[in-house]
Structure 1
Amino acid sequence: MDGDYAIGGVFGIRYYTHTPVHNYTTIPEPLKCTGRINFRVLRFALAMAFAIEEINNSTELLPGIKLGYQIHDSCTTVSVTMQVAFQLSNGLDPVFYPRDNCSQSGMVMAIVGEAESTASIIMSRVIGPFNIPQVSYFATCACLSDKQQFPSFFRTIPSDQFQTDALAKLIKHFGWTWIGAVRSDSDYGNKGMASFLDAAQREGICVEYSESLHRTHTRSRIQRVADVIRRSTAVVIVAFTASAELKLLLEELSLKPSPPRQWIGSESWVTNRDMLKFSICAGAIGFGIQKSVIPGLREFLLDLSPTKVAASPVLTEFWEDAFNCRLEKSAAKDEIVCDGTEDIQTLQNQYTDTSQLRATNMVYKAVYAIAHAIHNAVCKDTNSATQCDKSTRIEFKQVLAQLKKVTFSKNGYDVSFDINGDPVATYELVNWQKSESGSIEMVTVGLYDASLPKGQEFSINRNFTWVDGGTHVPVSVCSDSCPPGTRKVLQKGKPICCYDCVPCPEGEISNTTDSPDCFPCPKEFWPNAERDTCFPKPVEFLSFDEVLGIILAVFSVAGACLAITTAAVFFLHRTSPIVRANNSELSFLLLFSLTLCFLCSLTFIGAPSHWSCRLRHTAFGITFVLCISCVLGKTIVVLMAFKATLPGSNVMKWFGPLQQRMTVLSFTFIQVLICTIWLCLSPPFPMKNLTIYKERIILECALGSAIGFWAVLGYIGLLAVFCLVLAVLARKLPDNFNEAKLITFSMLIFCAVWITFIPAYVSSPGKFTVAVEIFAILASSFGLILCIFVPKCYIILFKPEKNTKKHLMNKNES
């Protein structure tokens, strides 16, 4: 249609071209489109004509100016698209005018098209150098946003960059990490899939396979892709393909169905109603252009009079194909001739279906965008009205400049372009659901708006139907999720989504699903059995509540009671010969020190504190030195007593009661001095021992200064050895008066216990260190009281006949 300004349109109404054979002897035949008409694309083309007619009837947009159009069929092939691009950029005037008053009827101000990205790239490279604006309604390749390569390209459909990001987020939203990928072997498929794979990698999604196909490929190539899908373990397949390629693949898969697969579709096919016949894609989800309403379009499409149909070869072919008849009277005998009774109102196909206008609205908006750019270039707004001069000659670059600034709203839809020529990205989330009748329908289940803040782009408002009509989200993972308490270990040579779940090592936990690492618990915490939580370590010490502590406490009290009882027996029989003969003063002092020895072991039981740690070691050291000092005094008395019986000896006057007391006090004072220095410089203190056991805390008393501790023990040992030597020397002295034998046995036991104590103390873990120390105290104390006092108590209580001076002085009895 002619007009003051023309707009070009390029649509792939047919799929194939007739390729002539070149013999190089005649002029090649022009390329011819063959194959059946695509009713859906024919609707796109007529939507452009409808929009231009609507604009021509408008009093606000381009008033007084008539727009024309030139619509061409690209046959969905690159060669014809390139030919059409040259034809539109050259103009159609059959006559060359040498003067300035050239007609502009053959020149287009801008071009609407193409649908495919590859065809749009070819067209843009042809018309771009001339600054002819191009507005695509369906080319989504992100590469077309590059203004360095495609400076005059615009589009009303969002770039694949937004769609691929949305697809990756959608897959991540449903927890799918193991997917297959199929793409068209074209700029649209290859570049779109590359963008999707980058987005998927950022979301932690792994791709088991990525296959490409094209409608020109051989069937064996299509079969190979189908076999890959059948053998794969990925349940989810992302198909970034054009409808033509996916149709061939689905036809091949239908011959020998694969296991159920969850299809994720790009907008190029997921909203194509022709694809709904493939039941193996039931449950498919994907992003589609938002549905829209174009008032008056359906009436325009159905307003086909016989005159219009006969005047257009394309409409003639459409009519004959739709009603399966021939308009030409020269039809063959076996062909049905159209008799004029055909009613287009009864047709139900892609041409008449205006229930889900998606790409059609993109065409509609593209035409209006170009019209607004021309309006801004040739019209001026005054106070009274808008004036447009249709004689104004405008250049392509003027329309291009105005197109960049276009901002308007039509039928409730906003139209504008960013610096890359892209619109705001908004999509509908579409789900293929089976109806009650068994047919598959496209149902909008949500929206995606890329302009919203991160994490808020999705808005899902309806339930999904999944593969095979299921209501539960299918699982598509290479490896099951690792539960808390384990960590992921990648399988060698496989993607990061394939891993083994390894339990956390000792002392470490993981408290999240699919944790890549385990982390150690804090110092005073330990993992539970599942190794997913850190609990405070149990605190362990020798307490009065446990069996071992009770037994040791009982023996301590029993030993103290035994010492007190022995002292009571000695006190009641203090005038008896056996008591008087064994230095009763040192005996009572020894029994008192033994009582303290038994009782000091109680300070080792219970939770350590500052006072208990200081008391237990110093009390133990001082009481034991007091004890050994008394035994040493008794031993020296025995030796001196027999020395005194020798003629002319007056040794006893040098070791009388006063000297005995001074000896005991002197030896004890040295230990008191050692303990005082120890407490002043580096005293024992309570501590939490975290090194012996990893899973529990040992409360114990640190020695503070190890030198102080071993000095205390060493001094006790020195006195004990000295006492043992003297007792051994005195053991064979005559008469029953001699108690050196008893002291010898007691000191042998004492030394044996404490020699054994050293390695046992060093090697015992935790609370058993304290138990060993208590055992050594009790054993040595019981050894002293049993060896020294029990035989005497036995004589006092049960053998009184032996408790006489005569018996004690009898040298003949053994």
Structure 2
Amino acid sequence: MSDTAKFPFFYRTVPSELHLCAGIVKLLKHFGWTWVGIIAFDDENSMRAVQILREGIEQSGSCIEFIETLRHSRSLRLQNTDIFDNFSAYSSKVIILYCNKDYREIIRHTPIWEAPGKVWIITEEWGFFHPSYNVDRKNTLVFAVAKKTIPSFHKFVHEVNPAMFPNDSFTEMWWNDLCKNQCPKSIQRPCSNDETLFFQLHCDSINSGDNYNVYNAVYGLAHALHDMITSGSWNTIKRSGESERFLDVLPWKLHHYLKSLQFKNVLGEEIFFDENGDLTIGYDIINVVILPDGTRIKEIVGSYNPYAHPGQEFTIYEESIMWENTFNETPPEFRCSPSCPPGSRKLTREGKPVCCYDCILCPEGEVSSQTDIDTCRKCPEDQWPNQKRDACIPKVISFLTYQEPLGITLTFICIFLILINTVILRIFIRYKDTPIVKANNRDLSYILLISLMLCFLCSMVFIGHPDKVTCVLRQTAFGISFSIALSSILAKTTTVVLAFHATKPGRKLRKWMGSRISISVVLFCSLIQTVLCLAWLFTVPPFPYLNMKSEIGKILTECNEGSIVAFYLVLGYLGFLAGISFIVAFLARNLPDRFNEAKYITFSMLVFCSVWISFIPTYLSTKGKYMVAVEIFAILASSAGLLGCIFFPKCYIILLRPEKNSRKFL
């Protein structure tokens, strides 16, 4: 009827069912009731309203477990009783009862009304909460037309003479209902208890919403007539053949004034029709309680007025609502499934409504900070979920520091090896003129000791927060210093072989003997590694990098190698030098020389190659600071192996067996 195209002259003086359905949806949403059932009679008005209500509930994210339609016969008995048998099987606790007051006696004595633990939302104040209906019902919320006390209405009811109205049964019934068998003296015919028994209401029905609506309708029409008459429109332009009687102009003149109607009633309220011809009134939400002694309590606990200011359309006063004791005096949450707490999300059960779901923990790396979330959200790259997965927290920045036990241990080992290296260098400088130092190429020994010291020192660059400078120095300093050390060992081994063969009669190798050739080998081999490192730095140099994906909940601050090919070329060249040195030393290990160090070099190269061969898979299988620690350990272990295997036997003879450090022994 609100369709102005089909019914342009219809004006509604009661709240629209569209607003009633919207108010029910607001109430359900406020209390978080997402699992409801609907019971309605099969009359056309109820079916149309149920369809509107269904659409509103589903759009709000709630679900309807069942919609039961009741039919009745003329004997006021329900024809279908399946609902009574199935009602206990339904799990929904919130029941919306949509039917008008004409069916109140039918539903009042049915078993469903006495079902415990249910909250009933009723769409009209029936007045069926009769004092004789002695049930403690505290879970009923009624949407009733807003009631207003009309001044002097009581006086009018008790003083007016009903004889002036048409004498029909409906008028008489209305008077009896209004006064509850206490008829005004002016009513000529005595009230019949039999006639009024079914329709009796409490005396406060004088203040019911129906009377207030009728009052507004009558005064609205009166104001429209008054405006039309005072404007003079009734006797202006008339249609052809139209008489000048006043009533003849009403059907087509009055519509204009009703459409633009706006006045204040006796209560000071602004009354007007909206664009659909509906009177701008709303609903009260009433909590009805029948106490064990039969006392009825009705209290307005909220309201819904779609014409109110935005944000003020729906109000509810929870503290005023009386609930059953089983609800602990608080409104329960009636749902098909319990709320999913923060840190989890909903997973709809297959074949079930969206309100029936299971709660599953958010996946790794995702969080949910609210209840009943459908999907979890990923944390930013620099954050990670907390233990409950309900908030993102900053990731822990991880790198090898000097303060942690691992960093302290590696630093201590590095300093200790540097001190040993320094002591050995000092011993060789002090005993530089002894046969054992001279026999093993004194200059190459110095270069090797200094290069090993640089190897120990370069491991310190790997500890601490990576920055642009340290990332560049790490691999290049390590590669160049190790290439010098291995080149020195290769020169030493080559010198031993050349020295043995040069002493044989008739050989011309003496001219290749001397420190000049040894230094040239060291410079040439080291220069190749230096060129590789410079090419690496000028093309794709290493750089600081925040690795947020390798470890859960951590940001790994590390050096990106820039070019992994260049990195493995540097390592491969060191392996090449070590391999050549090992082969040459292995072939010269049995040469008849008392101070022949080829066998020591062979063993040192065996240690060196073993360390770096095991380093590669270990390095690739670790992450973060432990990857750095593996490389530091490989540097220290291989350098210590070279230092110990080559120089410890010589120091032993120099310090503890000086009698062997002589030309006679040589």
**Which range, TM-score by smaller chain?**
0.7 to 0.9
Q: Secondary structure at the match of 2:501?
A: helix
Q: Secondary structure of the equivalent of 2:544?
A: strand
Q: Is the 8 A contact 2:379 2:392 kept in 1?
A: yes
Aligned to 1:93: none
SS in 1 for 2:109: helix
Partners in 1 of 2:102 and 2:428 — Cα distance?
117
Distance 1:238 1:717 in 2: 83
Cα 1:394/1:746, change in 2 over 3 Å:
same
Q: CA deviation at 1:655?
A: 2.4
TM-score normalised by the chain length of structure 2: 0.87
- Once the two structures are TM-superposed, the CA of residue 515 in structure 1 deviates from its matched residue by 0.5
Q: Specify which of 284, 296, 313 is matched with residue 440 of structure 1.
A: 296
Cα 1:241–1:799 change in 2 (3 A) is same
Shift of the 508–475 alpha-carbon distance from structure 1 to 2, 3 Å rule, reads same
Would you say 1:172 and 2:29 are equivalent positions?
A: yes
State whether structure 2 residue 406 is matched by structure 1 residue 548: yes
Please state whether the residue corresponding to 1:422 is helix, strand or coil.
coil
SS of 1:475's partner is coil
SS in 1 for 2:114: coil
SS of 2:95's equivalent?
strand
CA distance in 1 between partners of 2:84 and 2:190 (Å): 46
Do the aligned partners of residues 448 and 739 (structure 1) sit closer, same or farther apart at CA in structure 2, a change above 3 Å counting?
same
| Mapped partners of 2:133, 2:536: distance in 1 | 95
- Aligned residue type for 2:411: A
Contact persistence 1:263–1:281 (CA under 8 A): no
What does the per-residue CA deviation read over 1:654-680, in whole Å, with 9 as the maximum and x for residues that have no partner? 221223223222222222222222211
Is the counterpart of residue 299 in structure 1 residue 168 in structure 2? no
Distance 1:197 1:275 in 2: 34
Residue of structure 2 equivalent to 1:455: 311
Query: What stretches of structure 1 of length at least 5 have no aligned partner?
Result: 1-143, 328-337, 343-347, 383-388, 809-814
**Could you give the per-residue CA deviations for residues 384-407 of structure 1, whole angstroms, max 9, x where no partner exists?**
xxxxx9964524514652443443
Matches within 5 A, 1:230-309: 230-253=88-111, 257-269=114-126, 274=130, 277=133, 279=135, 281-303=137-159
Counterparts of 1:314-333 in structure 2, within 5 Å, are none
Is residue 2:271 matched to residue 1:407?
no
CA distance in 2 between counterparts of 1:377 and 1:310 reads 28
Larger radius of gyration, structure 1 or 2?
1
The offset of 1:518, in angstroms, is 1.0
Aligned residue for 1:698? 556
Task: Identify if the C-alpha distance between structure 1 residues 420 and 431 changes in structure 2 by more than 3 Å, giving closer, same or farther.
Answer: same
Kept in 1: contact 2:176–2:200 (CA 8 A):
no
**1: distance between equivalents of 2:108 and 2:172?**
32
Determine if contact 1:276/1:441 at 8 Å carries over to the other structure: no
- Indicate how the Cα distance of structure 1 residues 530 and 364 shifts in structure 2: closer, same or farther if over 3 A, else same: same
User: Is residue 623 of structure 1 aligned with residue 453 of structure 2?
Assistant: no
Aligned-residue offset at 1:173: 0.9
2:389 aligned with 1:534: no
Do 1:685 and 1:702's aligned partners in 2 also have CA atoms closer than 8 Å?
A: yes
Specify which of 432, 448, 460 is matched with residue 574 of structure 1.
432
Confirm whether residue 186 of structure 1 aligns to residue 37 of structure 2: no
Q: Show the 5 A alignment for 1:670-749.
A: 670-749=528-607
How many residue pairs get aligned? The number is: 640
Q: Give the match's secondary structure for 1:238.
A: strand
For 1:500, give the aligned amino acid: D
What is the rounded CA distance, in whole Å, between the counterparts of 1:527 and 1:370 in structure 2? Answer: 66
Distance 1:283 1:757, change over 3 A: closer
* Partner-residue secondary structure (3-state), 2:69: strand
Q: Does the residue aligned with 1:642 lie in a helix, a strand or coil?
A: helix
Contact 1:528 1:535 in 2 (8 A): yes
Q: 1:658 aligns with which of 502, 509, 516?
A: 516
1:143-193 Cα deviation digits (max 9, x unpaired): x21234444432211211111111111111111111111123212211122
Question: Aligned pair in 2 of structure 1 residues 657, 243: CA closer, same or farther (>3 Å)?
Answer: same
Q: Distance in 2 between matches of 1:647 and 1:351?
A: 141
Whole-Å Cα distance in 1 between the matches of residues 435 and 97 of structure 2? 114
* Cα drift, residue 465 of structure 1: 2.3
Give the counterpart of 1:358 among 195, 209, 213. Answer: 209
Q: What are the residue-to-residue correspondences of 1:140-151 with 2, within 5 Å? A: 144-151=1-8
1:422 aligns with 2:271: no
The alignment partner of 2:207 has SS state of: coil
- Cα distance in 1 for partners of 2:220, 2:128 equals 25
Alignment of 1:516-527 (within 5 A): 516-527=374-385
Q: Does 1:213 align with 2:213?
A: no
Is the 2:136–2:292 Cα contact (8 Å) retained in structure 1? no
Q: Is the 8 A contact 2:70 2:78 kept in 1?
A: no
> Match of 2:366, as an amino acid?
E
**2:403 alignment partner AA:** D
Q: Within 5 A, what are the aligned runs for 1:61-210? A: 144-210=1-67
Find the counterpart in structure 1 of residue 659 from structure 2. 801
C-alpha separation in 1, matches of 2:124 and 2:657: 115
The answer to whether residue 251 in structure 2 is matched with residue 397 in structure 1 is yes
Aligned residue for 2:311, secondary structure, equals coil
Deviation for aligned residue 1:302: 2.7
TM-score (norm 1): 0.72
Contact 2:134/2:293 (8 A) holds in 1 = no
- Output the CA distance in 1 between the equivalents of 2:226 and 2:452: 117
Match of 1:216, as an amino acid? S
* Cα deviation code 1:575-603 (max 9, x no counterpart): 32222222222212211111111121111
Most deviating of 256-265 and 618-627 = 256-265
Pick which of 592-601 and 463-472 moved more.
463-472
Change in Cα spacing, 1:764 to 1:393, as seen in structure 2 (3 Å) is: closer
Deviation digits for residues 363-387 of structure 1 (CA, Å, limit 9, x no counterpart): 22223333344445556679xxxxx
- The reply on whether 1:761 has 2:616 as its aligned counterpart is no
- Contact persistence 1:230–1:259 (CA under 8 A): no
Identity %: 38
What whole-Å deviation, never above 9, does each CA across 1:122-158 have from its counterpart, x for those lacking one? xxxxxxxxxxxxxxxxxxxxxx212344444322112
Q: 1:369 aligns with which of 220, 245, 257?
A: 220
Unaligned runs of 5+ in 2: 194-198, 234-242
Shifted more, 658-667 versus 215-224: the winner is: 215-224
Q: For the residues of structure 2 that align with 1:306 and 1:675, how far apart are their CA atoms?
A: 114
Give the conservation status (yes or no) of the 8 Å contact 2:272–2:279.
Answer: yes
Distance, in Å, in 2 between the alignment partners of 1:635 and 1:682 is: 36
Question: Would the aligned equivalents of 2:285 and 2:304 in 1 still touch at CA under 8 Å?
Answer: yes
Distance 1:226 1:351, change over 3 A: same
Over 3 Å counting, the alpha-carbon distance change for 1:407 and 1:554 in structure 2 is closer
In the alignment, the residues of structure 2 paired with residue 779 and residue 339 of structure 1 have an alpha-carbon distance, to the nearest angstrom, of: 118
Any idea what SS the aligned residue of 1:155 has?
Answer: coil
Maintained 8 Å contact 2:261/2:273: yes
Residues 1:154 and 1:227: Cα distance change in structure 2 (over 3 Å): farther
| Secondary structure at 1:505 match in 2 | coil
Question: 3-state DSSP class of the match of 2:106?
Answer: helix
Kindly provide the CA deviation profile for residues 707-763 of structure 1, in whole angstroms up to 9, marking residues without a partner as x.
322222222222222222221222221131322111121122222222332333333
Q: Residues 792 and 643 of structure 1: is their aligned pair in 2 closer, same or farther, counting only changes over 3 Å? A: same
1:314/1:258 Cα in 2 relative to 1: closer, same or farther (>3 Å)? closer
Q: How far did 1:525 drift?
A: 1.9
CA contact (8 A) 1:179 1:237 kept: yes
* Contact 1:289-1:358 at 8 Å conserved across structures: yes
Q: Which amino acid aligns with 1:527?
A: P
Measured in 2, the distance between the counterparts of 1:319 and 1:584 equals: 131
Secondary structure of 2:97's match? strand
CA RMSD between the two structures: 3.4
